[in-house]
Structure 1
Amino acid sequence: MTSEALPGVSLTFAPRGSEAEPLRTDVAAFLGRLRRGPVGAPVRVESWNDVVGAFGPPPSSSSRGDTLDGAFATPYALRGFFENGGRTAWVLRVSGPAATARARWTVGDTSGFPRARYQVVATSPGTWANGGHIAIRYQASTVAGPPTVSVQVTVPGEVPESFPGLPLAELVERLTESRLIRLVPDGPPPPPGRPGPISLSWNLTLAGGTDSVPTRGEYEDAVAVQAELPEPALVAMPDLGTDLAGSAHTAVVLELLRSVDASHDRLAVLDVPPRLASADEAVDWVGSLAATGDSRLLGCAAVYHPALRTPDGHGLRTVPASGHVLGVIARLDGERGAHHTPANAVILEAVDLADEFPEPQQARLFEAGVDLVRCTRGRGLIVWGGRTLSAEPRTRHIAHRRLVHLLVRAIRRVAAPLVFDVNSSELRLTLVRAITSVLLSAFRAGALAGARAEQAFRVVCDDTNNPPEQDPGQLVCEIEVAPAVPMEFIRLRLVLGQDRGLEVIEA
């Protein structure tokens, strides 16, 4: 974008790049309800302003009473993510069947218009555009040029938009620049040859938009879309506990964990459903997830509780903790690395806890695998725990899991280009050197134990794990890593197969 500052001087602002970076481990994915925006299509945002531009401002509790506490939590979770140091997120708006607000605009027989009738349609489904006012003014041709139309769009809660002096033939195309409306031809061309008046005005009101609560199917569709995104390393569903209950809620959580487990490169941060007010109910809910007995699946998720009280401009609002905690994890990732635990870190832009639990109840929650958010004197709100839901030491610690995620992402990057190479000693050497360079970087960053690199990791790709009788179209590489903190050793098995691509298996 270029703007004239002084005669002969112009300033050019290049937009910041937004290309995905799959090696990063601080990028989050949020699946939930938002005021507007595309449904089911992932949108990459790099600031709170990006969120508001793509999905609109969050609903205000002052405009619809206190009934929104717990509903539409995703925008507030996103704001907490960015306010706590998050830099990049992918957002998927989840919605049930919903109608889009619209208004009919009849041009009539005014000459110059390509069509005699149009539909003014909101850019996305939902009630957000109902009551929106569209003011259209037509000005006939003058000595200054051909006929033009000026459009003003005013939607409650949104920044007004103005589009002056639009050529009649370019109306539909030019209004694609609007964040709020689109113009859709809805009639035949007007009769030719009839001169129109000098000016005309139309005042339209958008109506007919509806919202509906997402079902299990819509959430599972969003989980599937999330799984295909290569960049996110953290996942949250802040509205899930409000929208679904019972077996439907559990089924979506388990579907998310299965998708996370299959990728080996991301962590799900869950919220206790808001309808479960007591510590006993929260423990029982965690127990229903642990009943799967699958430690690998449980090692893909961490639960943070209780919810937070955050300012919303008109008072305080109850917001699930997941968004703020993901922001803390992302902040520490940038400051110290993915291998650092989020425990004992301060939460910003939250003023209180939604619930206070006595110490015996805190102990029960902790024993059940719930990571607590606590309010401490002199420090405020802090994250008090860094464990997954798994009880097994190998998959129990968030820092351990995120180190695995970092290694898997880095190894995929260096190994994927070698998939179709011929299995030979040269390929083995190339693969070992590439993986060793990744592990050396992790060792120098302090993520691995040992005084020397050979004490921190080992890479084996020779005849011991690739015997002569093995399929020549398959190459196996085994990696052993010693984390810096006292946790279990990490063992990864890398399989390159010309018929099935690259597969990373955690042993």
Structure 2
Amino acid sequence: MPGLQQPPGTDIGETGGGARGVTGVPTSICAFVGSAPQGPVEEPVRVTSFAEFDGVFGGLSDRSGLGYAVRDFFFNGGESAIIVRLVAGGLDGSALAEHDYVGAGFHDAAKGIYALDKADLFNLLCLPPATPDGDLPANVWAAALTYCVQRRAFLLVDPPAAATVSTVAGWPAARGLTGDAARNGAIYFPRIRRPDPLRNGAVGDFAACGAVAGAIARTDADRGVWKAPANVALAGVTGLTVAVSDVQNGTLNAAGVNCLRTLPGAGPVVWGARTLRGTDAVVDQFKFVPVRRLALYLEESVYRGTQWVVFEPNDEPLWAQIRLSVGAFLRDLYRQGAFSAPTDRDAYFVSCGRDTMTQDDIDHGLVSITVAFAPLRPSEFVMIRIQHRAGDPTG
């Protein structure tokens, strides 16, 4: 693999001379938004087990898919969830509609899905259907994807319950899940089957988002956010609503649809790892889930880890400190196996200086940091940019 070309003003070294360190943020805090039998309304609540969810929000309900998705998340290895309970029209008892999630003025008012503005950080977003075997109001998905871009989060999309091998590939585009925003989401097909405690253990059909989110969290913990959450077994899942053949899987994978499949000796597994931009017809550096999630992790970690720059003058000593601290963070990730290259010089670089800022930027206190890295997928190099305003702790 060719080495990364490092422009002047770059660094890959370790911290020294009092430079502040960058600490990696969590990668698998999953936000769930939906209806529940009880609990605070439109207030994010963090839970670390299904038992805790049960105590606060009332557990499973045959009128909501939320409890089932949260259960599947923890059952498959999830460790931290943020729950936002919605009620239809402000009243209990009715199924949620589109305006309960993304109503007019909701973003400014931190209502609906935007109640998550009151949460400091989440990495994954699940929107379970209003009923366990139903569908989310269709127009909610595009708004949720846009919101994930704003929050550096990743949306797990469930296609309609009635989706088939023939129809699922065209569904994301029909719902507006296209363009650059589509990098921040992935669709998983088909739905899962598992015993339903509310029906005396009879097997029911459920959206897969919670189980997939748990599998992603387990992969992050075991192998790192840079590893693909693919060929990962789904715990507690006894079957799938559609059997996808090898040929069908190849066709859907090329269309950016991640299939769940039942494999001999393994049972139901997550198979694909493409973002909604992952179709073969599109050229995009973020076609693959682990590449996009690694970039989001780096952006969030570097942004938070360099917020101290707002108290500093925008000059070369500051830029050198930034290069050292961010470079040390990336070097540690390289040692953990996050990047694909024979040496650290081939794996990443950090640039912050006159090559990333104009004189006008410098005069106005704008600090721009460029990070380039070689993800594990061969022959692809990815660049991200983080910005602060130096010398302005209020800005």
Q: TM-score, normalised by structure 1?
A: 0.66
3-state DSSP of counterpart to 2:167 = helix
Structure 2 residue aligned with 1:232, among 122, 127, 151? 122
- Which residue does the alignment assign to 2:389? 497
Structure 2 residue aligned with 1:459, among 350, 363, 386? 350
1:215 touches 1:243 (CA, 8 Å); kept in 2?
Answer: no
The structure whose residues are more often strand, as a share, is 1
- Which residue does the alignment assign to 1:190? none
Structure 1 residue aligned with 2:221, among 334, 338, 341? 334
- Which residue does the alignment assign to 2:47? 45
Residues 1:417 and 2:314 aligned together? no
Relative distance call for 1:362 and 1:408 in structure 2 (3 A) is: same
1:26 touches 1:329 (CA, 8 Å); kept in 2?
Answer: yes
- Which residue does the alignment assign to 1:346? 233
| Identical-pair percentage | 26
Q: How does 1:470-489 map to 2 (within 5 A)?
A: 470-472=361-363, 473-486=365-378, 488-489=380-381
Deviation sequence 1:259-313 (CA, Å, 0-9, x none): 11123x3210010121x24323323322314x5641x211111011111111123
Deviation sequence 1:414-454 (CA, Å, 0-9, x none): 21121232112221111111111211121111001222222
Q: Which amino acid in structure 1 is aligned with residue 226 of structure 2?
A: H
3-state DSSP of counterpart to 1:395 = coil
Shift of 1:378: 0.8
Relative distance call for 1:213 and 1:500 in structure 2 (3 A) is: farther
In structure 1, C-alpha distance between the alignment counterparts of 2:254 and 2:27, rounded to whole Å: 28
Relative distance call for 1:470 and 1:238 in structure 2 (3 A) is: closer
Shift of 1:405: 1.5
3-state DSSP of counterpart to 2:166 = helix
Deviation sequence 1:5-48 (CA, Å, 0-9, x none): xxxxxxxxxxxxxxxx9810011001112222122111100001
3-state DSSP of counterpart to 2:312 = coil
In structure 2, C-alpha distance between the alignment counterparts of 1:282 and 1:501, rounded to whole Å: 48
Shift of 1:376: 0.9
Relative distance call for 1:423 and 1:349 in structure 2 (3 A) is: same
Relative distance call for 1:388 and 1:430 in structure 2 (3 A) is: same
2:227 touches 2:290 (CA, 8 Å); kept in 1?
Answer: yes
Of 475-484 and 276-285, the range deviating more from structure 2: 276-285
2:260 touches 2:270 (CA, 8 Å); kept in 1?
Answer: yes
1:234 touches 1:266 (CA, 8 Å); kept in 2?
Answer: yes
1:495 touches 1:502 (CA, 8 Å); kept in 2?
Answer: no
3-state DSSP of counterpart to 2:194 = strand
Q: Which amino acid in structure 1 is aligned with residue 67 of structure 2?
A: P
Shift of 1:223: 2.2
In structure 1, C-alpha distance between the alignment counterparts of 2:391 and 2:134, rounded to whole Å: 42
Deviation sequence 1:341-370 (CA, Å, 0-9, x none): 011111101111122245554444333321
2:36 touches 2:66 (CA, 8 Å); kept in 1?
Answer: yes
1:227 touches 1:259 (CA, 8 Å); kept in 2?
Answer: no
Q: How does 1:49-60 map to 2 (within 5 A)?
A: 49-59=51-61
Where structure 1 has 5 or more consecutive residues not aligned to the other structure, the ranges are 1-20, 60-67, 100-125, 127-210
RMSD: 2.4
- The higher relative CO (CA closer than 8 Å, separation ≥ 6) is in 2
- Which residue does the alignment assign to 1:398? 289
Shift of 1:500: 8.2
2:172 touches 2:178 (CA, 8 Å); kept in 1?
Answer: no
Q: Which amino acid in structure 1 is aligned with residue 195 of structure 2?
A: P
Relative distance call for 1:33 and 1:454 in structure 2 (3 A) is: same
- Which residue does the alignment assign to 2:107? none
Deviation sequence 1:122-168 (CA, Å, 0-9, x none): xxxx4xxxxxxxxxxxxxxxxxxxxxxxxxxxxxxxxxxxxxxxxxx
Q: How does 1:381-392 map to 2 (within 5 A)?
A: 381-390=268-277, 391=279, 392=283
Q: Which amino acid in structure 2 is aligned with residue 350 of structure 1?
A: V
3-state DSSP of counterpart to 2:88 = coil
Relative distance call for 1:470 and 1:412 in structure 2 (3 A) is: closer
1:343 touches 1:385 (CA, 8 Å); kept in 2?
Answer: yes
- Which residue does the alignment assign to 2:181? 297
2:65 touches 2:128 (CA, 8 Å); kept in 1?
Answer: yes
Relative distance call for 1:466 and 1:297 in structure 2 (3 A) is: closer
Residues 1:442 and 2:333 aligned together? yes
Shift of 1:57: 2.6
- Which residue does the alignment assign to 2:170? 284
Q: Which amino acid in structure 2 is aligned with residue 254 of structure 1?
A: A
Structure 1 residue aligned with 2:100, among 205, 218, 225? 218
1:465 touches 1:476 (CA, 8 Å); kept in 2?
Answer: yes
Q: TM-score, normalised by structure 2?
A: 0.83
Shift of 1:393: 3.5
Where structure 2 has 5 or more consecutive residues not aligned to the other structure, the ranges are 1-22, 103-110
In structure 2, C-alpha distance between the alignment counterparts of 1:438 and 1:240, rounded to whole Å: 42
Relative distance call for 1:227 and 1:257 in structure 2 (3 A) is: farther
In structure 1, C-alpha distance between the alignment counterparts of 2:177 and 2:74, rounded to whole Å: 34
Q: Which amino acid in structure 2 is aligned with residue 223 of structure 1?
A: I
In structure 2, C-alpha distance between the alignment counterparts of 1:502 and 1:316, rounded to whole Å: 55
Of 377-386 and 361-370, the range deviating more from structure 2: 361-370
- Whichever of the two has the greater Rg, that structure is 1
Residues 1:93 and 2:95 aligned together? no
Q: How does 1:309-324 map to 2 (within 5 A)?
A: 309-313=193-197, 314=200, 315-324=202-211
- Which residue does the alignment assign to 1:79? 71
Q: Which amino acid in structure 2 is aligned with residue 406 of structure 1?
A: Y
In structure 2, C-alpha distance between the alignment counterparts of 1:502 and 1:283, rounded to whole Å: 46
Q: Which amino acid in structure 1 is aligned with residue 32 of structure 2?
A: F
Q: How does 1:131-142 map to 2 (within 5 A)?
A: none
